Amino acid sequence: MHSSTIISAIDTHTEGMPTRVITGGVGTIPGDTMAQRRTHFVEHLDGLRKLLVNEPRGHASMSGAILQPATTEDGHYGVLFIEVSGLLPMCGHGTIGVATALVEAGMVPVTEPVTEIRLDTPAGRVVATVAVSAGHADSVTLRNVPSYCDNLDNDVDVPGLGTVRYDMAYGGNFYAIVDPAELGLPFDRAHKDRILDAGLRIMQAINESCRPVHLEDERISGCKHVLFLDPASEPAHTRNAMAIHPGWFDRSPCGTGTSALLARQHARGLLSGDQVLRNDSFIDTTFYARAIETTTVGDYPAIVPTITGRAWLTGTANYLLDPADPFPEGFVF
C-alpha cells in the first residue's frame, strides 16, 4: 500500500446518525484545553476533517469524533467533533457514539451494570454513563454542558419566507426553534427539500442580523442549526426536523438540539423540575432528556440536561491517503 496517512476508526451510528470515531493516526493536537485544540485544528488541520467526512470516504451527512488525550487530570479522553459543516463545540449523538465505541472496544475500564466515562470537549466536561450488560453498551446517558434559552419570540426577515418567528436556545450549539406551520410547511419528509431550504435561509438571515454568541465563551457563536418543531408536539413529547448547515438533516433527534429544546421548554414553562422530555427525530428515533440541576450561564437561568440514547458499532477501518490521490481533502458534490 502507498499511503502518506493511515487513520484508524470505529464507525458507529446513534439512532440513525453516523459517528466515525477516530482512534489513531492523528497524534496529540497542540493546546492545553480542548477549546484551544479545536482552534488549532480549525486553523491548521482542517484538511484532515475534510478527508474523513467528505466524499469519497464520507458523505454529505457524515460526522465524526477525534479522540485525544484528556486535558484534565481525571478525564478519560478529549474529543473533537467533526462534521461536514466544520468543528462543533459539542455533539450529543457523537458523544453517545464515542462512549459506545470506548466500552465495546475496551478502551476504558468497563464495569457492569454501569460504566462512567469522563470526556473533555471544547464546550466543557461531559460525563457519559453507559448501561452495560455482557460487555454490550445498551444505552448511554450523557450529562451535557449547561443549556439555556438565549431569547424567545424573535423575528427575522428571511428572503423568500418573509418574517419568521423563532426562539434561540443553546445546548452545546445554538439552535433556532421554528414552527413550520407558520411558514406554510407541512411537517412531512415528503417536503424535506422545502424544509431544508427554509432552514438554510433562516440560518443565514439570523447570522447576518442577530448572530448568537455564547454568554461566557465568545468562541462559540453563530447559528448552524434550525430545529423545526412538529406542530403536533406536546410539551413532554416532541418531534423535530433538524436542518443543518451546509444542507442536511440530522438523522438522530440531535443531542445538543434536544438539550437546547429542553432549556426552551423550561423557559416557556412547558416543563418543570426533572420532567422527562421525549424527543423524536425526523426518522422516528428517540432521545430522552431531563434537567438534573438548575444553574446560570452569564446572568441567564440555565439547566444541566441529561440525554439518553443508543448507538451501535457498524464497522472498523483504516482510512488511507495515497500521495497520488487527486482528492487529498475529499470533495463536496
Is residue 91 part of the annotated active site? The answer reads yes
Q: Any idea what DSSP says for residue 231?
A: T
Q: Are 16 and 314 in contact (CB under 8 A)?
A: no
- Residue type, position 207, single letter: N
DSSP 44-78: H-HHHHHHHHSBTTS-TT-EEEEEE--SSTT-SEE
- Measured between its terminal Cα atoms, the distance across the chain in Å is 27
Its sign, for the CA torsion 249, 253, 255, 261, is positive
CA 26-27-28 angle, to 5 degrees, is 125
Question: What distance in Å separates the CA atoms of residue 87 and residue 65, rounded to the nearest whole number?
Answer: 9
Taking the C-alpha atoms of residue 99 and residue 89, their distance in angstroms, rounded to an integer, is 17
Tell me how far apart the alpha carbons of residues 164 and 178 are, in angstroms, rounded to a whole number: 8
The Cα–Cα gap between 224 and 199 comes to: 9
Catalytically annotated residue among 91, 149, 210, 223: 91
Cell of 151: 431569547
254 flagged as catalytic: yes
CA–CA gap between residue 166 and residue 178 (Å, rounded): 5
Beta bridge partners of 88: 81
Q: Residue type at 96?
A: I
The residues that are catalytic are 91, 254
